[in-house]
Amino acid sequence: MKRFEELLHKGYAQSFEISTVLFHEKTEHQDLVIFETPTFGRVMALDNIVQVTTRDEYVYHEMMTHVPLFAKGDATDVLIIGGGDGGILREVLRHGSVKNATMVELDRSVVDLSVKHLPEISAGAFDDPRTDLIITDGVKFVAETDKRFDVIIVDSTDPVGPGEVLFTESFYADCHRCLKDGGVLVTQNGVPFFQGDEVTNTYRRMGKSFSDNGFYTAVVPTYVGGFMTLGWGTDDAGLRDIDAEVLRTRFQQANIKTRYYTPDLHKAAFALPQFILDLMN
């Protein structure tokens, strides 16, 4: 029996039974493998770290997207850094207010292979006329672009290899520059039970640029270790405390069918366990 073993966390591993390997090759930027499993459907891993599965991708993609977009309520321009599988893009485009979704992905192979082998994740989002796909370094893009965005979503790998530069103080500062007044930055920020330093470092670094920053949580089964933290940065402190009834109204008007996100869960996600609060002090 073939198995894939992920060794992201020291002294701890998770493994997947492999039914079929659909693709495995070292791209220009990273080692990429896509395989079929009996439990989690199709899985994509980069540099031996699981990025997405067709079984539970909706948890991560819905919470990364709908929390900032429903908090804003009227976002028209959204920037996605990373997210080559297209799941974040899919959810962004479900918001009728969005007129333009700019997606900046470093590795074209991730996009092409996801469309080929994981088509249900992007669900045609790359063909939407509102999509502007740019293949370049996200750090370079936010440092140089003249565009301004209501929401920036950083769907990055962990801070090792190509993803490391997306966790720096200078990157957060450039994202702040790219936001419209009252805009929101949301970032992938690891599993704090195993990756506590990521919470501490991001909180300190993001705080240099944003007057209101912190985290909210989601539980994604394949990102093992319990709660996952999603970074939050804005200069509008009221956005993390939108009234639940307002969120419900926006959600109903958007007429978006979700599998994980709800307005009440949105509110609750900002209530952090003490061990995460301790990592922020």
Residues 180-226 pLDDT 10s: 999 999 999 999 999 999 999 999 999 999 999 999 999 999 999 99
Rounded average pLDDT over 134-148: 96
The pLDDT of residue 97 is 97
Q: Is residue 195 packed enough to be buried (19+ CB in 10 Å), middle (13-18) or exposed (0-12)?
A: buried
Domains of the chain by residue range:
3-53, 57-279
Q: Which residues of 5-43 are buried (b: 16+ CB within 10 A; e: fewer)?
A: ebebeeeeebebebeeebeeeeeebbebbbbbbeebebb
Helix or strand or coil: residue 96? Answer: coil
Q: Contact 135/102 with Cβ under 8 angstroms? A: no
Q: Contact 147/178 with Cβ under 8 angstroms? A: yes
In CATH terms, the superfamily for domain 3-53 is: Spermidine synthase, tetramerisation domain (2.30.140.10)
Q: pLDDT tens digit string along 17-34?
A: 999 999 998 888 889 999
The pLDDT of residue 161 is 56
Q: Contact 103/89 with Cβ under 8 angstroms? A: yes
pTM here is 0.95
Angstrom distance (rounded) from CA 77 to CA 64: 16
- Model confidence at 139, pLDDT cuts 50, 70, 90, reads very high
pLDDT at 9 over 80: yes
The pLDDT of residue 159 is 60
Class of domain 57-279: alpha beta
Residue 56 appears among annotated catalytic residues = no
Rounded average pLDDT over 96-124: 96
pLDDT at 162 over 60: no
The one catalytic residue among 56, 155, 158, 174: 155
What is the percent of the chain where pLDDT is above 70? 97
Q: What are phi and psi of 217, to 5 degrees?
A: -125, 160
Take residue 172 and report the two structure tokens written for it.
Answer: 């957060």
For the chain, the average pLDDT equals: 94
